[in-house]
A and B are shown apart, each in its own frame.
Chain A
């Protein structure tokens, strides 16, 4: 009981500021308990010593140094600003790139999900029957080059970026399209076994060089052939079986 009382009294004395008066119960206890009295004397002495440490003064040039520090911080503010702006621009550029990527992926997925649209397009790369004349396209210029079994309209319509190449040099191979072949009136494409030579160029390539002393050299590069590709009727397993 007395121990508990000592603890309470010591706590009370500890929490008081120096010079504050304590309760009557504490006074009574201190008059009876020598241990608590000793504790209180030591505690008061200690607190006086600690309190005597007092306040340390700041140096005389404290304000001057602080002004310099603030001014330095203020002058460095634009640098921080530009750093933030730079990082913001980088973030914006990254966001644009990501956005473009998302749009491209979404468009690609939309095309893949809707094959009906593809099938409706009447184009396509299937060979024309031998006895049929290729469709005449009024705006097409007559060309010396023969584009084997491929309607130029198809190429122009679905491969606009390759049009210039077709004009420049003769094409002897088919540009394979991802679009499905159309079937007209339930007829399958004619039995074809047309071979398409795959050449890089139909003409040889000749270069004449002269070294200035009358010596001339002619370098001729022959037509390069990569073999041929044959299309057979049964190979078109993805062709639809009826009119859509």
Chain B
């Protein structure tokens, strides 16, 4: 493994030259190049996935700064484990798995700290359905854009109230548009379980978003 001593040695090029790295270069090839010390290859990987990973973690945690931090941690782990990477799965599956684990770990930490969002919902202690703390505002809005924004905020809040086992597959399917097969690999579970969880997650959301539908 190459030892990096200074920031400059990492050499993240702001704009990579197309003759060095073609768009057709696969993620696997980029990671292989990273393993052999090509920092430009790693920079390309980062540029491909930074928005996706940040967005995914943000949808999971509903905290932008925390999501950026965890996204960076995801890339750090990819970089440090480059030597141990195996081509068993697609690189996207691999990096999403790391991101998912970090996000779930963060959610569990929060739960231990008992941080309850004032705009969130109460989690039932008896295992029943979650109860809404702030019922949706049913007043008509005057502007379509505002309506749209409010609806997106509401759905984001509603997603944030889903149990983590339903949240991750729903985001991967309905926000990121990934296949059931890939989601199953990312979450290390069966395809049937993924379908079932997504269906249940949509059911929860439909109840919470009834006013907007």
Q: Which residues of A contact B (CB under 8 A)?
A: 11, 14-15, 17, 42-43, 45-47, 49-59, 62-63, 65-71, 73-75, 77
Contact = CB atoms under 8 A, between A and B. Distances in A.
B170 interface: yes
Q: Is the interface of B mostly helix, strand, loop or mixed?
A: helix
Given A45-B213, A56-B51, A71-B5, 12 more contacts: A17-B177, A49-B152, A53-B152, A55-B52, A58-B51, A58-B68, A59-B68, A63-B50, A66-B75, A71-B9, A74-B3, A75-B5
B198 A14 contact: yes
A51 B213 contact: no
A11 B76 CA distance: 40
Contacts, number: 104
Contact of A47 (B7, B14, B68, B202): B202
Contacts of A59: 68
Contacts of B185: none
B152 A67 contact: no
Interface string B158-198: 01000000000010001101001000000000000001001
Contacts of B180: 15
Interface of B: 3-7, 9-10, 12, 14, 43, 46-47, 50-52, 54-55, 58-59, 64, 67-68, 71-72, 75-76, 79-80, 148, 151-152, 155-156, 159, 170, 174-175, 177, 180, 195, 198-199, 202, 205-206, 209, 212-213
A170 to B, nearest CB: 70
Nearest to A77: B3
Contact of A14 (B7, B52, B67, B199): B199
B12 A53 contact: no
A67 B76 contact: no
Nearest to A63: B12
B64 A50 contact: no
